[in-house]
Amino acid sequence: MPGVAALSDAAMGQPSLLVLAIVLPVTGVLLSIVAGGRYVEAIAFVVLLSGLVIAIFIFDGVWRGGRELTYVVGGWRPPLGIMLRADGLSALMMSTMAVVICVVGVFAHADFNSRLEAAETRSPFVFWIMLVAVSGAMNMIFLGGDLFTLYVALELLTFAAVPLVCLSGSAETIRAAMRYLLFALLGSILYLGGTALLYGSHATMDFAVLSQQAHLEPATLIAAVLMTIGLLAKTALFPLHLWLPPAHAGAPAAASAILSSVVVKGSFFLVVRLWFDALPGMLTPAGAQLLGALGASAIAFGSVVALQQKRLKLLIAYSTVAQIGYLFLMFPIAFNAAATPAQSSEALTGGMLQAMSHMTAKAAMFMAAGLIYTALGHDRIADLGGTARALPMTMLAFAIGGVCLIGLPPSGGFLAKWLLMRAAVETGQWPWVVVMLAGGLFTSGYMFIVLSRALQPSGEFLKLGAALPKYREAAALTLALLSLLLGFVALGPLDVLQVGSGTMMAAPG
């Protein structure tokens, strides 16, 4: 009986969990709209915590099973229908994102408490719903195997992120949100155009089917280029990064954390999926070098401008621009004519680990910056003297996050860079090694500026504007420590990244 089979399937847990990962946030959004402001935060917590549990179960399923989990939606297999897929990449990213979102949710409780007043108020209502929507959209992006469904998921993500930017309602943030929206829309429509062309050539949107059918021909290449340009606009890779700094710096602290750490990873993940899984073997070395060059420019530009910033949040935002450049360095290293599949997957692993480290570290840094702002009433770097003594936990979180971004052991950032550099050296691509080392130096530069200021003793004892609840500082510190400990992932689950994606890379183009 189909019903019994389905139930026992659900009891075994894993494939139906893929659906649940998407259905639960959607239900949360719908419920919140009807239930109203008083329950919004509670609904969000339930959804986010369950999302974390689901992500862990999916991860466990993929790791133990050694192969990817799939779910055929509606019973129609591709190319006619849509399939959800969880491979090692999805599982790791989902779990990291789920942890980050939960911790940021805890952090945001103080700013967006929705239980105090009886009536529904704007900020908490919008914030919690958008947070749940971000989590659902990201899950869809990680689990999606169909290019058009991913378009809808991308739009979901954008519509959830834009209101977070202008949550405070000031004219500057609205302008930043407007710019973000325009760039994001440009990105999605170009992505959609590419999708149309791909359908025209192959009559499918599914990754697995495409990877078997696609070969290097003009129409497919043009489609892929269009899609990539669109995704690069959404990921804010240089030179399409203009919207990011004002948007991320102007948002409330919890929102900035989500925007920088989670949201930009969505479109980045799709770039990886596109070139590694959907159209393997189609990225020519020249194209890969171009992506790497753009990444290097982003690192240079972002770091140099970060060094000049006077406000902490803007510095962190420009640091995001630079760190996004890092993520694209994996392309030239992986797609090199001299690279063996093992080296390519090493580069892929390094890149994804970098993404995960950035997620945790950047969220921690933005949370710390938010706490500093709450405590001091400003975030001017020049006036941060004495902060280290007054807010030790917060500054520690900030510093540890920075350590991860610089790439010092044993952090995840260190392991990621080590893997990337090793792959680069083995394939003889020394320039990228230089770029990575230079980037690390730059990052140390602006971290040093902030930390040295904060460690300076101030004239009189620093008067704190508001007392900071310990749990908020603990939240920031937790994520920072997580980013530090990600380096230990090498001892265990790192090979999970090979699950599912390894077969794609080894297949002849």
Partner 1 sequence: MNALPLFASCAAMLMGLGLYALITDPEPLRKILAFNLLGSGVFLAFGVISRRVAATEFEGDPVPQAMTITAIVVAFAATAMAVALVSRLVEAGGRATVASEASEEPDADGGAS
Partner 2 sequence: MTILLFTDVCLVLLVLTIGASIVRARDAFEAAIAFAIYGLLLAIVWVRLAAIDVALTEAAIGGGMTGMLLLGAAARLRLAGDDHIRASLRVRLAAGILSALVAAGVAGAVLLPPEVIPTLAPKVMENLASSGLGNPVAGVLFVYRALDTLLEKVVLLLALLGVWSLAPDGAWNGRPAIRLYARLNGTLTFLAQLLPPIGIVVAIYMCWIGAKAPGGAFQGGTILAAMWLLVIVAGLESIPSIGGTWLRIMLVIGPVIFLAIGTAGIVLANAFLAYPAGYAKPLIVAIEVALTLSIAAAPGMLAAGPPQQEQRQ
The nearer residue to partner 1, 199 or 418, going by C-beta atoms, is 199
Closest among 394, 372, 374 to 384, alpha carbons compared: 372
Contact 507, 277 (CB under 8 A): no
Q: How many CB atoms lie within 10 A of CB 438?
A: 14
**Which residues, listed in sequence order, are joined to residue 144 by a DSSP beta bridge?**
84
What token pair was written down for 381? 């770097």
Under 8 Å between Cβ of 137 and 149: no
Binding partner selected for residue 410 from partner 2, partner 1, none, CB under the kind-specific 5 to 8 Å limit: none
Site string for partner 2, 218-237 (x = CB under 8 A): xx--xx-xx-----------
Q: In whole angstroms, how close is the CB of 46 to partner 2 at the nearest point?
A: 17
Q: Which of partner 2, partner 1, none has residue 287 at its interface (CB below 5 to 8 Å by kind)?
A: partner 1
- 276 binds partner 1 per the rule CB under 8 A: no
What is the H or E stretch that residue 395 is in? helix 392-406
Instruction: Tell me the C-alpha distance between 471 and 103, whole Å.
Output: 10
The verdict on 189 binding partner 1 (CB under 8 A) reads yes
* β-strand partners of 86: 69
Q: Residue 185 binds which entry of partner 1, partner 2, none, with Cβ cut-offs from 5 to 8 Å by kind?
A: partner 1
The closest of 305, 333, 317 to 264, measured between CA atoms, is: 317
State the binding partner of 63 from partner 2, partner 1, none, CB within 5 to 8 A by kind. Answer: none
Q: Does 39 bind partner 2 (CB under 8 A)?
A: no
Token couple for 7: 């139930």
243 phi/psi in degrees, rounded to 5: -80, -20
- The answer to whether 347 touches 419, Cβ cutoff 8 Å, is yes
| List 73, 293, 304, 464, residue binding partner 2 (CB under 8 A) | 73
Could you give the CA distance from residue 415 to residue 6 in angstroms, rounded to a whole number? 41
**Residue placing its CB nearer to partner 1 in the complex, 46 or 174:** 174
Sign of CA dihedral 129, 168, 101, 97: positive
For residue 25, is the peptide bond before it cis, meaning its omega torsion is within 30 degrees of 0?
no
When the beta carbons of 30 and 506 are compared against partner 2, the nearer one is 30
Of 8, 74, 171, 491, the one binding partner 2 (CB under 8 A) is 74
Minimum Å gap between C-beta 78 and partner 1 is 12
| Binding window for partner 1 (CB under 8 A); candidates: 158-166, 371-379, 405-413, 479-487 | 158-166
159 binds partner 2 (CB under 8 A): yes
Question: C-beta of 205: minimal distance to partner 1 in Å?
Answer: 8
| Site of tokens 């460690």 | 455
- Our finding on whether 457 is near partner 2 (CB under 8 A) is no
Is 199 near partner 1 (CB under 8 A)? yes
Cα separation, 238 vs 325, in Å, equals: 8
Q: Rounded to the nearest whole angstrom, what is the least distance from the CB of residue 396 to partner 2 in the complex?
A: 34
Which candidate, 357, 305, 68, 78, places its Cα nearest to that of 204?
A: 78
* Count of residues engaged in binding partner 2, rule: CB under 8 A: 66
CA angle 427, 429, 431 (to 5 degrees): 165
Q: Which stretch binds partner 2 (CB under 8 A): 66-74, 369-377, 423-431, 445-453?
A: 66-74
Q: Which does 242 bind (CB under 5 to 8 A by kind): partner 2, partner 1, none?
A: partner 1
- Report if residue 240 touches partner 1, rule: CB under 8 A: yes
**Nearer Cβ to partner 2 (123/458):** 123
Contact 134, 157 (CB under 8 A): yes
57 binds partner 2 (CB under 8 A): no
155 is a contact residue toward partner 2 (CB under 8 A):
yes
User: Binding of partner 2 at residue 182 (CB under 8 A)?
Assistant: no
Smallest separation (angstroms) from partner 1 to the CB of 298: 13
Asked if 138 and 131 count as a contact pair (C-beta separation under 8 A), the reply is no
Asked if 300 is part of the footprint of partner 1 (rule: CB under 8 A), the reply reads: no
Encoding tokens for residue 387? 């902060």
Residue 158 exposure: Cα atoms within 13 Å on the Cβ side:
24
Q: Residue 39, CB half-sphere, CA atoms under 13 Å: how many?
A: 12
Q: Tell me if 120 contacts partner 2 by CB under 8 A.
A: yes
Residue 75 contact among partner 2, partner 1, none, beta carbon within 5 to 8 Å by kind: partner 2
Answer yes or no whether residue 27 interacts with partner 2 by CB under 8 A. yes
Judge contact between 236 and 264, C-beta under 8 A: yes
DSSP 133-171: HHHHHHHHHHHB-BHHHHHHHHHHHHHHHHHHHTTT--H
172 binds, among partner 1, partner 2, none (CB under 5 to 8 A by kind): partner 1
Of the chain, the end-to-end C-alpha distance in Å amounts to 42
Q: Which is nearer to partner 2, 23 or 338 (CB)?
A: 23
Helices 430-455, 412-426: axis angle to 10 degrees equals 160
Give residues in contact with partner 1 (CB under 8 A).
148, 151-152, 155, 159, 162, 166, 169-172, 174-175, 177-179, 181-182, 185-186, 189, 192-193, 195-197, 199-200, 203, 221-222, 225, 228-229, 232-233, 239-240, 242, 246, 284, 286-287, 290-291, 294
Q: List residues near partner 2 by CB under 8 A.
A: 2-3, 5-7, 10, 16, 19, 23, 26-27, 29-30, 33-34, 36, 71-76, 79-82, 119-123, 125-126, 129-130, 133, 136, 140, 148-149, 152-153, 155-156, 159-160, 162-163, 166-167, 169, 174, 190, 193, 197, 200-204, 218-219, 222-223, 225-226
